[in-house]
């Protein structure tokens, strides 16, 4: 069975290629050929025909819905107005752009992006380590010395274990990695989040969530086993635009970002997960873990949006 990463990349290709095939009937369209396209195509090609069919069916159903709320996708202003489809790179994500597939109409000075998810709703997979300043990376403000004093003894121990024997298993190095590693690191992370929030509540909440959802407007397309979820992140107001007399068939409201952290605390009976609750309906979980059975010198977050604001556009399409 293919990995989650393979399915995710294959779904990106399926979106791009199915959109290209479908839209070619209505408008001039081209796929930008680059190494990123080759990479996702290789993942798609590695799947069985049945798996490809499932991805293609989901991609096509999502498009036939989205063209009703984004008429610029399949409507040109003249013969020179070509729709380009591009696979976005990981570098965009590092700069706060979470879009995987981007449609571009240079003639209209317009673009729209899609984030493709296969059976998961993760926002980010950010890491913590002895040198990664999450404050600086996430919101542009460095972490305090208190934070570093809290995490460094633990990460220094992990580094020493790795240096001594990089094949050491967690079960060999720790009696309880949750109590000895995960929980104290999350305690320091939690404390730093609270400190940053108190210094500048309004901007912290907005910038913190901005980092997690991105800065560009986009649609998130989540393919599940029985349905497709479409979420419209209309952050800056560029989604849901008509074209001349062609109007949209549904309204995608501006999403309301938070301006206050209400609380951040451990999920009940979980030493490896924090729940951050903001106003405007935002609630986010931070589960920390190692991506390997062997001891690593950094730890990975699985960050998920577990409660969404009413202002977030959402619809379900059943397969």
pLDDT for 238-267, tens place per residue? 999 999 999 999 999 999 999 999 999 999
Q: 228 falls in which pLDDT band (50, 70, 90)?
A: very high
pLDDT digits (tens, 9 = 90+) for 183-192: 999 999 999 9
pTM: 0.91
% pLDDT > 90, the chain: 90
pLDDT digits (tens, 9 = 90+) for 80-104: 999 999 998 664 545 568 899 999 9
Please, what's the largest Cα pairwise distance for the chain? 69
- Of 278, 87, 98, nearest in space to 193 by CA: 278
User: Distance between terminal CA atoms of the chain?
Assistant: 21
Sign of the Cα pseudo-torsion (309, 223, 120, 36, in order): negative
Sign of the Cα pseudo-torsion (159, 163, 168, 174, in order): negative
Q: Is residue 27 within 8 Å of residue 74, measured between CB atoms?
A: yes
- Hey, how many other C-beta atoms are within 10 angstroms of the C-beta on 107? 14
Q: Is residue 189 within 8 Å of residue 197, measured between CB atoms?
A: no
Token reading at 32 = 């930008």
Q: Residue 307 in 3-state DSSP?
A: strand
What is the Cα–Cα distance from 22 to 230, expressed in whole angstroms?
A: 19
Q: Is residue 237 within 8 Å of residue 256, measured between CB atoms?
A: no
């Amino acid at each position: 069975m293919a990995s989650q990463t393979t399915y995710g990349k294959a779904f990106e290709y399926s979106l791009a290629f199915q959109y290209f095939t479908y839209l070619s009937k209505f408008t001039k369209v081209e796929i930008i050929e680059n190494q990123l396209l080759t990479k996702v195509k290789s993942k798609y090609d590695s799947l069985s025909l049945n798996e490809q069919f499932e991805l293609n069916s989901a991609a096509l159903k999502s498009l036939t819905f989205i063209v009703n709320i984004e008429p610029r996708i399949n409507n040109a202003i003249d013969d020179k107005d070509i729709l380009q489809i591009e696979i976005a790179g990981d570098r965009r994500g590092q700069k706060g752009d979470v879009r995987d597939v981007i449609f571009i109409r240079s003639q209209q000075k317009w673009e729209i992006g899609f984030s493709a998810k296969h059976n998961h709703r993760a926002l980010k997979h950010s890491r913590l380590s002895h040198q990664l300043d999450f404050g600086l990376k996430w919101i542009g403000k460095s972490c305090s010395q208190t934070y570093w004093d809290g995490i460094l003894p633990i990460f220094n121990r992990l580094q020493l274990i790795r240096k001594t024997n990089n094949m050491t298993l967690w079960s060999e190095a720790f009696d309880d990695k949750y109590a000895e590693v995960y929980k104290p690191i999350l305690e320091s992370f939690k404390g730093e989040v609270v400190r940053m929030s108190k210094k500048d509540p309004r901007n912290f909440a907005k910038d913190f969530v901005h980092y997690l959802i991105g800065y560009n407007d986009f649609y998130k397309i989540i393919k599940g086993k029985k349905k497709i979820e479409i979420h419209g992140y209309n952050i800056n107001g560029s989604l849901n635009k008509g074209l001349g007399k062609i109007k949209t068939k549904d309204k995608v409201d501006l999403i309301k970002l938070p301006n206050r952290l209400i609380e951040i605390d451990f999920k009940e009976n979980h030493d490896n997960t924090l729940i951050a609750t903001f106003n405007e309906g935002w609630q986010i979980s931070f589960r920390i873990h190692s991506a390997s059975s062997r001891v690593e010198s950094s730890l990975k977050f699985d960050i998920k949006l577990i409660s969404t604001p009413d202002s977030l556009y959402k619809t379900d399409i059943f397969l």
